[in-house]
């Protein structure tokens, strides 16, 4: 079992196996979180991430992916599907926010 599955499953009061079956799919030696037909993460609820306190590292890095930082077009596309990105924010505003947030990391 992936190391972070237990805490994530615990956030939803379910066992690791049930969590994997409902929300994940195998990806090589690891797992990825499935998305709904509309492209949204299955773990995104009305109030945001349902496993926020235990979310995987890849989720913790979002939205500061290299592609979104380097490419304004990729950022524009991400704004169309991610409810956490301000649809009114320019790429320049996103870059300023990214610098600010990334400077906070240890």
49 and 8, same structural domain? yes
Q: Does one domain contain both 79 and 44? A: no
pLDDT at 14: 94
Q: Which domain holds residue 98?
A: 62-106
Series of mean pLDDT values for 10-residue runs along the chain (106 residues): 74 93 88 85 88 85 91 94 88 93 75
Q: Are residues 16 and 50 in the same domain?
A: yes
Q: For position 3, what pLDDT does the model report?
A: 52
pTM tops 0.85: no
DSSP state letters, the chain = --TTHHHHHHHTT--HHHHHHHHEEEETTEEEE-B-TTS-BTTEETTEETTGGG--HHHHHTT--HHHHH-HHHHHHHHHH-TTS-TT--HHHHHHHHHHHHHH--
**Domain co-membership, 41 together with 77:** no
Domain count, the chain: 2
Same domain, 1 and 24: yes
Tell whether 51 and 8 lie within a shared domain.
yes
Co-location of 24 and 67 in the same domain: no
């Amino acid at each position: 079992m992936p190391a972070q599955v237990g805490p994530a499953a615990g956030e939803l009061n379910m066992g690791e196996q049930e969590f994997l079956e409902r929300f994940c799919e195998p990806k090589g030696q690891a797992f990825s979180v499935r998305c709904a037909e509309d492209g949204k993460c299955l773990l995104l609820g009305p109030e945001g991430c349902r496993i926020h306190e235990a979310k995987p590292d890849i989720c913790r890095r979002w939205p500061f992916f290299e592609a979104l930082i380097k490419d304004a077009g990729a950022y524009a596309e991400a704004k169309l599907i991610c409810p956490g990105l301000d649809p009114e924010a320019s790429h320049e505003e996103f870059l300023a926010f990214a610098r600010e947030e990334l400077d906070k990391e240890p």
